[in-house]
Amino acid sequence: MISPSLYEKLSYDPVHDLTPISLITHTAEVMVANVNNPAKDVTEFIANAKKRKGGAAMASSGVGSPPHLAMELLAEATKTDLRHVPYKGVAPAINDIIGGHIEALFIDVPVALGPIKGGKLKGLGMAAPTRHAMLPDVKTFEEMGIRGVVSDNWYAVYGPKGISQAAIERVGQAVRRTLEAENVKSRLLSVGVEPTPTTPAELAALQKGDAEKWARIIRLKNIKGE
């Protein structure tokens, strides 16, 4: 729920024009760096950045993207100068991290798994409440004493305004049955995606919390959508 704060005008209102039904999946973000970066985790990365004039440069997949906003959360939480370098998508940003042209990047775990396990990137910290099953050795920011840096991408099912309660329940039950099917669940988990069916109320609470979190950092950093 970033767009309402990032753009002055939207063609829809996500709160009033859509009806929450169920979360489908969420993918936590992990902070990665080149394998030759001297830092073994986020605390060392931040300590090294604070020693240098100009701090550290961090890539993102674009202005106002989750990786950009996660970087801003980290900069605020640690009072560190982190210079934002936006790319047009995550692929060129990853290539430049691997090539040593930029220092670090927040990316979704499913995208990070291949390069990390292939020895091309290393994980410095998990921007989630708990460690990820596919990256058990990567500590969370909270474990390293850095609070408030939680960022993920989530995907959900919504209905139109005025949808009937019966339709909400029918779709919600179908989503839950699908995500709890062993073949679907195991496939998603194997690529680092967490199936997370919810009630409409739980999805609405998640939406509200994320909207407030991102609105605060967007206002604080005066970020404008492109």
CATH number, domain of 45, equals 3.40.190.10
Query: Number of folded domains in the chain?
Result: 2
**Which residues, 6+ apart, have CB-to-CB distance to 96 below 8 Å?**
59, 87, 102
DSSP 2-33: -HHHH-S--SS-TTTSEEEEEEEEEEEEEEEE
| Same domain flag for 120 and 207 | no
Q: What share of the chain is helix, strand, coil (3-state, %, to 5)?
A: 40, 25, 35
Final residue in a domain of this structure, among 112, 127, 142:
127
223 in any annotated domain: no
For residue 106, is pLDDT > 80? Answer: yes
Q: What is the mean pLDDT of residues 113-122?
A: 95
**25 and 193 Cβ atoms separated by less than 8 Å:** yes
User: What pLDDT was estimated at residue 222?
Assistant: 84
Of all residues in the chain, the percent with pLDDT exceeding 90 is 81
Of all residues in the chain, the percent with pLDDT exceeding 70 is 96
- The separation between CA 168 and the C-alpha centre of its own chain, rounded to angstroms, equals 27
| Same domain flag for 163 and 185 | yes
DSSP letter at 174 equals H
Q: What is the mean pLDDT of residues 25-52?
A: 95
| Same domain flag for 110 and 48 | yes
Locate the DSSP E strands across 68-147: 82-86, 104-108, 121-127
* Res. 2 pLDDT band, cuts 50 70 90: low
| Same domain flag for 74 and 162 | no
User: What pLDDT was estimated at residue 14?
Assistant: 76
Which range of residues forms the domain containing residue 65?
A: 29-127
